Amino acid sequence: MDKLVRMANQIGDFFAIQPQDKAVEGVAVHLKKFWTPKMISELTGYSLSGGVGLAPIARAALRSLAEQGKR
């Protein structure tokens, strides 16, 4: 899990120069394009159960993906 957290945070760092909503959207789009559904699912579950170590942008992007999955 540490590796997934680190990678998600690095993606968040890349998008952090943008306004918050655009940064969150950018991270979510990147994860959907380049990560496997299993990776996203594991990290989303981790985020929803506390997500220790996840940066706010990464956490918000995962929350957004979780919400999209419910629709």
**Alpha carbon of 29 to those of 22, 32, 34: distances in Å?**
10, 5, 9
H helical segments located in the chain: 2-15, 20-34, 37-48, 56-70
Q: How many structural domains comprise the chain?
A: 1
Q: Which two tokens stand for residue 29?
A: 């789009």
Whether the pLDDT of residue 71 is over 60: the answer is no
> Domain containing 28: what range?
2-70
Distance CA(65)–CA(67), nearest Å, equals: 5
Cβ neighbours of residue 60 closer than 8 Å, sequence gap 6 or more: 20, 24, 27
Summarised one tens digit per residue, pLDDT across range 12-32 is 999 999 999 999 999 999 999
Check: pTM over 0.85? Answer yes or no.
yes
